[in-house]
């Protein structure tokens, strides 16, 4: 999932880079919207990863000591 996070960020940067060279205002705005959408996806993945990292690790089949 971390690979997706990095790819989404790269896609956003690419859209921003392309927007600089686009002359048509409508197309430039679309490129900016795409960049924002990629960043939103990256944030969603990052949120999932953070939530997953906070979950306790439970190993199935390993008996726990009772005190």
Distance (Å) of CA 43 to CA 8, 22, 26, 34, 38: 9, 26, 26, 14, 9
DSSP per residue over 11-50, as a string?
A: HHHHHHHHHHH--SHHHHHHHHHHHHHHHHHHHHHHHHHH
Write down the pLDDT at residue 12. Answer: 98
**pLDDT recorded at residue 53:** 80
Q: What is the pLDDT along the chain (67 residues), one digit of tens a residue?
A: 889 999 999 999 999 999 999 999 999 999 999 999 999 999 999 999 988 888 776 666 666 666 6
Local structure of 9: helix, strand or coil: helix
pTM listed for this prediction: 0.74
**pLDDT at residue 2, as a whole number:** 87
For residue 52, the model assigns a pLDDT of: 83
């Amino acid at each position: 999932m971390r690979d997706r996070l990095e790819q989404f960020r790269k896609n956003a940067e690419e859209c921003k880079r392309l927007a600089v060279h686009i002359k048509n205002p409508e197309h430039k705005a679309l490129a900016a919207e795409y960049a924002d959408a990629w960043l939103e996806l990256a944030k969603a993945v990052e949120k999932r990863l953070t939530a997953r990292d906070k979950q306790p690790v439970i190993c199935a089949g390993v008996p726990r000591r009772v005190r």
